[in-house]
Chains A and B, each alone.
Chain A
């Protein structure tokens, strides 16, 4: 199980949109509609932001959206706010009841 590939960092100004990519393979991201995204602030546990590729848990702002194309899942944050600055991790089901995470992306709000 190799980790999914995410950019180390992305940045954007308040009000702008940013997209974080998560590239896997035809055995994980590409094979299942089971990609998820987590937001982690320093010293806190990860928080589920998107599951099943594009579904938002209750309470997550609709500024957060997910999509998938081929072996790449993406998280888009529109109307960027200061509190969105955090680390973001993607995750995918990889078959045989296994899970694989991405390496994480640090989002900086300029």
Chain B
């Protein structure tokens, strides 16, 4: 059974960089030619797609966050990561990692989510 688990600091100061890692277990991150993604959800609000990447390194970002986001992959550790720079209180959210289906028609496996609070 494929499992995803987010990890990283739960508190980040304004203007600093948020960093999260998603560890994939149960299968190789580079098998099956899947895409992997990050999604966030501010407290009490809806879901927002942040970006996705392919195991060979191609990345795709939400245009509203593109200037601040970097998603990368480490196939040796079966992990992919998110960095969001120059954070503000508006970036406070639960951050989820997930796997996209072959057709990009759904996100079939999700991590449990990691709450990141931006505060001094």
**A residues apposed to B, CB below 8 Å:** 1, 3, 32-36, 38, 45-48, 50-53, 55, 57, 89, 91, 93, 96-104
Can you identify 6 A-B contacts, CB atoms within 8 angstroms? A36-B107, A48-B108, A48-B110, A55-B105, A91-B47, A99-B100
Q: Are A52 and B101 in contact (CB under 8 A)?
A: yes
List the 4 shortest-distance A-B pairs measured between CB atoms, nearest first.
Answer: A51-B106, A36-B106, A52-B105, A97-B60
A105 closest partner in B (C-beta): B46
- Specify which chain B residues have a CB less than 8 angstroms from the CB of A57 in the assembled complex: 106, 108
Q: Are A34 and B111 in contact (CB under 8 A)?
A: no
- Specify which chain A residues have a CB less than 8 angstroms from the CB of B113 in the assembled complex: 45
Q: Are B112 and A45 in contact (CB under 8 A)?
A: yes
Instruction: Give the size range of B's interface with the partner.
Output: 20 to 34
A57 to B2, CA, bound (A): 14
Q: Are B46 and A99 in contact (CB under 8 A)?
A: no
A34 to B107, CA, bound (A): 11
**B residues apposed to A, CB below 8 Å:** 35, 37, 39, 46-49, 52, 58, 60, 62-64, 96, 100-101, 103-108, 110-113
Q: Are B103 and A52 in contact (CB under 8 A)?
A: yes
A93 closest partner in B (C-beta): B104
Chain B's nearest CB lies how many Å from the CB of A96? 7
Given contacts A101-B47, A103-B46, whether A1 and B62 have CB atoms under 8 Å apart is yes
- Specify which chain B residues have a CB less than 8 angstroms from the CB of A3 in the assembled complex: 46
Q: Are B106 and A48 in contact (CB under 8 A)?
A: yes
Chain B's nearest CB lies how many Å from the CB of A44? 8
Taking a contact as CB atoms closer than 8 A, the residue among B48, B58, B105 that contacts A53 in the complex is B105
Q: Are A101 and B103 in contact (CB under 8 A)?
A: no
A91 to B101, CA, bound (A): 13
